[in-house]
Structure 1
Amino acid sequence: MKHTEDPEEQRELMEVKEESEELREVKEESEELREVKEESEELREVKEESEELREVKEESEELREVKEEREELREVKEEREELREVKEEHHVKPGEKPLCRSKTKNKCLKKRRAKKSFTCTQCGNSYRTKQNLERHMIVHTGEKPHTCDQCGKSFTCKQNLERHMIVHTGEKPYTCDQCGKSFTQKVNLENHMRAHTGEKPHTCDQCGKSLTRLKTLKEHMMIHTGEKPHTCGQCGKSFTHKLSLENHMRVHTGEKPHTCDQCGKSFTQLKTLKEHMMIHTGEKPHTCDQCGKSFTHKVSIENHMRVHTGEKPHTCDQCGKSFTQLKTLKEHRMIHTGEKPHTCGQCGKSFTHKGSLEIHMRVHTGEKLFKCDQCRKSFSSKQYLEIHMRIHTGEKPYECSHCDKRFSQSSNLKMHEKIHSGQTLLKVS
């Protein structure tokens, strides 16, 4: 007799199979996400290395210019020495006709040209060897004969190509003996070592600020000049740094390459992701030295310090009221403009603040998150709970300026003060 499987067992087996399939899909998605993260990290490293190579190129160009200047100075010295020798050779003796100065100079120039027989037809520079002249001509022709077989990028000289190849091989032969970090170029290691030594050899002649890198100094100088060479092609906004423009472009593209591995939330900047990660770790590195309160972000502690200093730098140009935060001023201005950008999708009621809309939505959902630990009564907002708690504590923070009578709520104080002002309180029948 053929055994018939129980339908219930079949259904359970099917569910188990479906769950296994779902688990496999989740696993595949996690693996894909991990691969994407790795690729993003590799791309970032390549980008950093490209930036390092660019810096090396700039420093090499500066070094080349210094070498050329030294060579020119050396040649000038040689010319002066030759002229001096010629003068001594043709020293005017009594009764002799003096040698013309122009003839002396021409003789020296001919002598020098004999040493430098290869001259550029474009700019007139002369070189001792044909090879040096050929290398120089690339400046005028724009020729880049040395091409990378990995990515197709071309270079003017073989040495630059060899430096570039390290990007593809991943080779980092220069290692810091302090922290173990490795670099592709010797000059990058030298710059890095300043992080340990504290050396800052590049000083701003405008404000005296010192920096570790020449590149950073150049970027810093733009603060004084007001130069913003990197402009967005979408909205025309300009930036001092290329990286700032790249981050800004994500506003237009919607790209958010930095993803939290805890909750999956994505961000446009790595810095923002790092700050977000503190929510999961509970890290609050910025502590107030006045009251000991800690904060996740530096800007939060800066705003908090104004509680102690009483500073209110943001002033309303309509009524003169001042605020500690720019955000609070912007929200306050809506009182004057009448703007209420946050609208309830259930009843159409509008609010100035997003938080007010969120509290209002609890009227529709019936949600009451804030519970009294004395009587277990629940409230839709923290503010309502705080007002309620005064019943238990007996606190009456609002005092009448006329008769010293106290109230638990500001609305009750306002109603009471109408008695003193002579205003009639209308009864609703």
Structure 2
Amino acid sequence: MLILDVTEVKGESQELNEVKEKHQEKSSSSSDTEKNVSQKRADAKGSFSCSQCGKRFTRKGHLEVHMVIHTGERPYTCPQCAKSFTCKGSLKDHFRIHTGERPFTCPQCEKSFTNSGGLKRHVRIHTGERPFTCRQCAKSFPSSGELKRHIRIHSHTGAKPFVCPQCGKRFIHRGHLNDHLRIHTGEKPYTCTHCGKCFTHQAKTLKRRTRMHPDENPFTCPQCGKSFLHKGHLNDHLRVHTGEKPFTCPHCGRSFSHKAYFHVHLRIHTGEKPFVCPQCGKRFIHRGHLNDHLRIHTGEKPYTCTHCGKCFTHQASLSWHMRTHPEETLKRRTRIFSQQMALRALEIAEFCLLPVPYTSTT
């Protein structure tokens, strides 16, 4: 079975999001002049209206493509994995996952994609373009999918519309629910091609291949020798050595090496807190902060003192507690003293290596 790129494998709603995004992009990028021309064409040729939502199209074919959003029809099926699609072009793009073909390459960083839509969304990382805007808070996003996920923050349902029929657990994304359902079914569809071990999640399969079978990763870092399955991952890693930080905050000027870190930082300025506690409704900027908070409700205390066995909810609380033990305090002081002595020895060594100034005796 072929190992798929985790960044390429999308949820079931990805294709419909792309169809919607194409329509939204056309409407948002058109000028008033273009709109007038389109209206004249519609008047001349006759317009085609969607009976479900009233959206109008100048061509019948465009209306038919749009209608699959409402009907859910998927007549085109992949012969390799049986996944179905709404249009032939989407099937063609999907099939490249199996063949490994990535014909669309970013001119800036050379990262490649299986379809033009993926490249277009990626290029916005470099251009900073964010054409999709939230009507409630005016925050903008580079893709319609990100806007859709953001809008759930404003909903009154806790932004978790997908419910597990087995245990009632709720999820923000349908893909997360699908992953969770495998806990109940025991399904492990992702297999490592090198050792045969099976996994429930695509990310775990890719992680195992990267860590356990590094010889099969074709892209190697010239600095440290670490290897990667995809060139884009190597490019991200290289910033560790170069110090490059291409993602800059427009509010405070702070720069970041990775897009994910940049987006998390932006929440400090926007006040966005997308992670909601299902118990008390408290919101958090980071998922990790929510996980820590949830232990207040569950009573879980995973951090245990090795000296007295006392348990704590947070790692920081354990660290402070450890200082109450004399032996731990002694270890800490010894470690600090050793570091100070090492620094002093380095200063002396540097001083001894300084050139001796020449003094004339005549």
TM bin (shorter chain): 0.3 to 0.5
The structure showing larger relative contact order (alpha-carbon pairs under 8 Å, at least 6 residues apart) is: 2
Tell me the TM-score normalized by structure 1. Answer: 0.37
Q: Which has the higher helix share?
A: 1
